[in-house]
Structure 1
Amino acid sequence: MIKKLGLLFGIVLCISSAIAQKSTKSSAVLKADDFRHYVDYFNKMEDENIVQAIPNAQAWDWMKVNIPLFECPQQNFEEMWYFRWWTLRKHIKQTPVGYAFTEFLVPRNYADKYNLISSALGHHIYEARWLRDPKYLNEDMHVWYRGNDGKPMNKLHTFSSWNIYALYNRYLVNGDSTWLLNMLPDFETDYARWESEKRMPNGLYWQTDVKDGMEETISGGRKEKNYRPTINSYMYGNAIALANMEKMKGDKAKADLYTAKADTLKKMIQQLLWNPSDTFFETRKQADTLANVREEIGFIPWYFNLPDAGYEAAWKKVKEEKTFCAPFGITTADRSDPRFRKHGCCSCEWDGAVWPYATAQTMTAMANLMNNYTQSVVDDSVYFRLMETYVESQYRRGRPYVGEYLDETHGYWLKDDQERSRYYNHSTFNDLMITGLAGLRPRNDNKIEVNPLIPENKWNWFCFDNIPYHGKLVTIIWDKDGSKYKKGKGLSVWVNGKKAVSAEHLQKVIGNLE
């Protein structure tokens, strides 16, 4: 069966590869085959006991056609880049109604049809938006919103969701307004359903911890209904995205409606979820009292650029060892709280251990803070150090590994040898590398903006090559003295092989796409 799947995929891949090579030949700086050794190593690391749409034997052929290339002088960053694309590919599944992305490779009894789980869909969208072939993500969304006899999957609303916002941000990468607006009626229906299910008279949304994908927190419980920064920020982001889509469609009335919904939510979140004594966004109990505990979800509002100026003091905590900055990552709760990690172990606790799911949200939010706010709380050295820790945490017994969650002090993966945890598709990494570290900031105009969050004294060179963006291919080069790539000193951004903008230092630059 595996042999037949490989043969069929190989035929499709040959056609796609020919098209891709024709469109990328003139713009490529890096040579794809220089990085094949990573995939050869990953393939040898495991007994491939679970095979979905693209088997290991075809992994490099698929990656060569679909992913951007990356190199830098710090080998673990480079290795983790290719590992995370290799693992994402494992989760592509061919269903009777199209391709989809799984979360677990092993079957889960609480999954929807085809073993699909909606918890991390926002992460799947952010990560897969950088694939050159859009069909995998297009079909995944069609499966979720239309794959149940034309209706949404039954368990789409099992978990809180920022899908609509994520898909608008995917549009900022590929510029495909036709596909996005075709899905707009589905998104409008989806938003209204969330309003009917979770919105309270005070304007905020409630959720239980487990349905936020975050079991056993300090602020709540598996069945406790609270006003959490998660779902409320998600719904704000979704409303902002819908307002933008309605503007694209030319429907001013609906655009104004969703803008008003977002404005109301922003006001309520800042008024009711901000704890001035803790200087942090926190969960509010339905008894109308704050939970009085700093949890990592308090950074999520910045994922959506929600807070007004004046709340940036919360970010002091991300770099403090006594609160969130642990040896192996950003903890999910304040380390100084007496309830920190008191729920025991290994049943998916979110009372302090490090979860890549949350790390990805926090790092995305931090990049937004650094790009879209005037602040002096965190800088590129903080961002780089936390990204470096994220890389270092994704190893197990000396090999690349991504699982469910890990011990914040020792780095042990807390599900350890459990098959369910292996290759857990529950976070982003490469999106953080592109939009944060390399600093490609997606926009809805004909400009290209790059603002690398790397201290200039860290790497003398790096290159991100063949990044699909607005129907073109982008290359970002940092070559401190010009000797590595022979394309000039400093930072340069290239579009389809032509230099769009450059600078002597690692700094924000904006150029034209044409």
Structure 2
Amino acid sequence: MRHVLAILLAAAVSLAGTAAPALAQSSLAQSSLDREQIARKHFGNDAAWYRDRIPFFESSDPKLDAVWYYRWGLFRAHQRDLGAEGYVTTEFLDDVSWQRQPYASLNDASGFHIAEGRWLNDRRFTDDYIAFMYAGGNDRHFTDHMADSVWGRYLVDGDRDAVLRHLSVMRHVYRLWDEKYDFAKRLYFVEPLLDATEYTVSSIDASGGQDGFRGGDSFRPSVNSYMFANARALANMARLAGDTAMAREYEARAEDIRERVLADLWSPSLGHFVDRYQVDNEHVKYWQPIRARELVGYLPWMFDLVPDEARYAGAWAHLLDPKALAGHAGMRTVEASYEHYVRQYRYLDGAPECQWNGPVWPYQTTQVLTAMANLLDHYKGTGPVTRGDY
């Protein structure tokens, strides 16, 4: 079981598209598995699609095996054929009103999609998706770490032409985010809704506790971690392309973001990375830190932004504390002591609708599991976190 856990930890570390080493598929291990039989067992009449495309895996734990193939089943289900524009990966199986019409694409989960798709033997799906996103598909509806995931794909397949194909557009997209950059504070800010995390502490408190769907623009650990990771990826790509000036520029950008996140978004009193308000109104003030810990505070570890120091590693104690972020059903998005924890704001046809002020949210749970895997894999100081906790 320990061996299986090590495999899963390594896989989780690689999901973020960070500085994981290139992994070569073991042809010996793959050839020893009866792919036809396994594919039929898990996918029935659709086995042919998976047989030569996905990496196969077997362990002594049938639950782990089931999860592995369930994930590939989901990946397959979310492929949408756009005809001449190729395939994209959708966030929702059904169409939603806020998707980019008529393609059903959204960029907030693109980093996850590319990180998953890079393991496919069939390069077409992720090639098409990246090309679509950098041909106008990434309308910056949400924040994302797409460039970082494109670099992470290169660390797996070593395809130099593919990783550099859209470099000029990636650079252009990065600079478009200057509109959400405070040049005095040297940090990025965003409305939580456009960070795919509406009903957070910043948006709820900025409304005086009355709502939280819109508003609450803040300097957040999330968007700044994404921009750090994307800058680092662009620096790596530029160096690969032989553009040393661009490489130095984006290395400097990444390090400057790291410096400001550590100096300004770390709360010594809460022992956690937190938002600071960019908005200034009758309820909250510019640069004021939020008053509660949120799950988003672990995202800097998702991209190895955080130094290997005990004071930072101690933040993980809150994730294990039932009075803080450790809920009965999984990770809470905000600690239970927050005044508006699980207060219901949204209703659909009279029934409570999903929101992000406490209940488990798979999108962010996945991010924090990746961050925790990084912590366990290559940090010397892991604080209170153990592999058993993972």
Question: TM-score normalised to the size of structure 2?
Answer: 0.82
Q: Which residue of 2 aligns with 1:372?
A: 378
Q: Which residue of 2 aligns with 1:246?
A: 238
1:39 equivalent among 40, 43, 48: 43
- For 1:367 and 1:167, locate their aligned partners in 2 and report how far apart those are by CA, in whole Å: 20
Q: Residue 216 of structure 1 contacts residue 348 of structure 1 at CA under 8 Å; is this kept in 2?
A: no
Q: Which residue of 1 aligns with 2:111?
A: 122
What secondary structure is seen at the aligned counterpart in 2 of 1:100?
strand
Tell me by how many angstroms 1:344 deviates. 4.3
- For 1:211 and 1:382, locate their aligned partners in 2 and report how far apart those are by CA, in whole Å: 31
Q: Which residue of 2 aligns with 1:28?
A: 31
| Within-5 A mapping of 1:134-283 | 134-146=123-135, 152-153=136-137, 156-195=139-178, 197-201=179-183, 202-220=185-203, 221=212, 222-283=214-275
Q: Does 1:111 align with 2:115?
A: no
- For 1:126 and 1:317, locate their aligned partners in 2 and report how far apart those are by CA, in whole Å: 28
- For 1:61 and 1:223, locate their aligned partners in 2 and report how far apart those are by CA, in whole Å: 48
Q: Does 1:358 align with 2:341?
A: no
What secondary structure is seen at the aligned counterpart in 1 of 2:187?
coil
- For 2:29 and 2:354, locate their aligned partners in 1 and report how far apart those are by CA, in whole Å: 48
What secondary structure is seen at the aligned counterpart in 2 of 1:123?
helix
Tell me by how many angstroms 1:189 deviates. 0.7
- For 2:221 and 2:140, locate their aligned partners in 1 and report how far apart those are by CA, in whole Å: 18
Counterpart amino acid of 2:288?
T
Q: Residue 216 of structure 1 contacts residue 343 of structure 1 at CA under 8 Å; is this kept in 2?
A: no
Number of aligned residues = 337
Q: Which residue of 1 aligns with 2:293?
A: 294
Higher Cα Rg, which structure? 1
Compared CA separation, residues 200 and 26, structure 1 to 2 (3 A): closer
- For 2:345 and 2:29, locate their aligned partners in 1 and report how far apart those are by CA, in whole Å: 56
Tell me by how many angstroms 1:136 deviates. 0.3
Tell me by how many angstroms 1:218 deviates. 2.0
Backbone CA RMSD of aligned residues? 1.8
- For 1:344 and 1:369, locate their aligned partners in 2 and report how far apart those are by CA, in whole Å: 35
- For 2:151 and 2:34, locate their aligned partners in 1 and report how far apart those are by CA, in whole Å: 32
Counterpart amino acid of 1:318?
L
Superimposed CA distance per residue, residues 130-168 of structure 1 (whole angstroms, 9 cap, x where no aligned partner):
11111100111111111xxxxx13x62000010001111
Q: Which residue of 2 aligns with 1:323?
A: 324
2:85 equivalent among 87, 97, 100: 97
Q: Which residue of 1 aligns with 2:349?
A: none
Compared CA separation, residues 236 and 26, structure 1 to 2 (3 A): closer
Q: Which residue of 2 aligns with 1:444?
A: none
Q: Residue 323 of structure 1 contacts residue 336 of structure 1 at CA under 8 Å; is this kept in 2?
A: yes
- For 2:319 and 2:28, locate their aligned partners in 1 and report how far apart those are by CA, in whole Å: 43
- For 2:291 and 2:232, locate their aligned partners in 1 and report how far apart those are by CA, in whole Å: 29
Counterpart amino acid of 1:314?
A
Tell me by how many angstroms 1:375 deviates. 0.9
Gaps of 5+ in 1: 1-22, 41-56, 147-151, 384-514
- For 2:157 and 2:317, locate their aligned partners in 1 and report how far apart those are by CA, in whole Å: 35
What secondary structure is seen at the aligned counterpart in 2 of 1:232?
helix
Q: Residue 32 of structure 1 contacts residue 69 of structure 1 at CA under 8 Å; is this kept in 2?
A: yes
Q: Which residue of 2 aligns with 1:18?
A: none
Tell me by how many angstroms 1:26 deviates. 8.4
Gaps of 5+ in 2: 1-25, 204-211, 279-285, 347-351
Q: Residue 270 of structure 2 contacts residue 293 of structure 2 at CA under 8 Å; is this kept in 1?
A: yes
- For 1:184 and 1:283, locate their aligned partners in 2 and report how far apart those are by CA, in whole Å: 31
Question: TM-score normalised to the size of structure 1?
Answer: 0.63
Compared CA separation, residues 207 and 70, structure 1 to 2 (3 A): same
What secondary structure is seen at the aligned counterpart in 1 of 2:333?
coil
| Within-5 A mapping of 1:310-349 | 310=309, 311-344=312-345, 346-349=352-355
More deviation, 342-351/204-213: 342-351
Q: Residue 199 of structure 1 contacts residue 206 of structure 1 at CA under 8 Å; is this kept in 2?
A: yes
Tell me by how many angstroms 1:180 deviates. 0.6
Q: Which residue of 2 aligns with 1:44?
A: none
- For 1:32 and 1:331, locate their aligned partners in 2 and report how far apart those are by CA, in whole Å: 38
- For 1:235 and 1:300, locate their aligned partners in 2 and report how far apart those are by CA, in whole Å: 12
Tell me by how many angstroms 1:365 deviates. 0.8
**Which is richer in strand?**
1
Identity between Structure 1 and Structure 2 (%):
33
Q: Residue 39 of structure 1 contacts residue 83 of structure 1 at CA under 8 Å; is this kept in 2?
A: no
